[in-house]
Chains A and B, each alone.
Chain A
Amino acid sequence: AQKVTQAQTEISVVEKEDVTLDCVYETRDTTYYLFWYKQPPSGELVFLIRRNSFDEQNEISGRYSWNFQKSTSSFNFTITASQVVDSAVYFCALSDRYNGDKLIFGTGTRLQVFP
């Protein structure tokens, strides 16, 4: 069965600290996609990144970076030099061929960045 686990329910940091959000996934498929979404206090879901199962290269976008490791079925998200505006709930999600393109979401990690 497909599953996404975000074991960290809530993380609190002080501005400028680096923080890593963990995501562990399960799927029987060899072709799958992983996503991260951000849900700020205003409530909308904002797409951050998509990664397919054949591309294990890490990605960096500004202060954001993602570490994909198939060996440990993890797709972790790091925010460098966190800012107050990064405060949000972050969701990791999975889609694969067994489930069409519906997204299976983790339970989310609430990040609070204090000034």
Chain B
Amino acid sequence: DSGVTQTPKHLITATGQRVTLRCSPRSGDLSVYWYQQSLDQGLQFLIQYYNGEERAKGNILERFSAQQFPDLHSELNLSSLELGDSALYFCASSDGGANPGDIQYFGAGTRLSVL
């Protein structure tokens, strides 16, 4: 068990809808990262938060947004969902800031199916 908790484990929804994925980092970790794993794109970095502030952005669509709350949990909001958004979404956390060597510990993922 990595100590990173993601809910829900599975999510099935329809095109055009909006969903929220939730992540609780390991105790004491200030950094939260979101990654998307899809068959065609592989594992791709979406966005990082550090202690409540956005730290880095990857190839995140404008329809997607995230935030990190004062208790350090994070939410990833996906709106106007399309079939191609179906993927496994991972949250990871680390105890560092924007340091390249920080070990990222991953949650079990949320599997999103858009029908």
Contacts and interface: CB of A to CB of B under 8 A. Distances in A.
Contact of A95 (B35, B55, B90, B101): B101
Interface residues of B, number: 31
B106 A45 contact: yes
Interface in B3-34: 31, 33
Max chain A CB contacts within 10 Å: which of B44, B104, B106, B111? B104
A105 interface: yes
Interface string B35-78: 10000001111001000000110100000000000000000000
A50 interface: yes
Interface of B: 2, 31, 33, 35, 42-45, 48, 55-56, 58, 88, 90, 92, 94, 96-109, 111
Interface of A: 31-33, 35, 37, 42-47, 50, 52, 91, 95-97, 99-108
Q: Which 4 A-B pairs have the closest CB atoms?
A: A45-B106, A105-B43, A95-B100, A102-B45
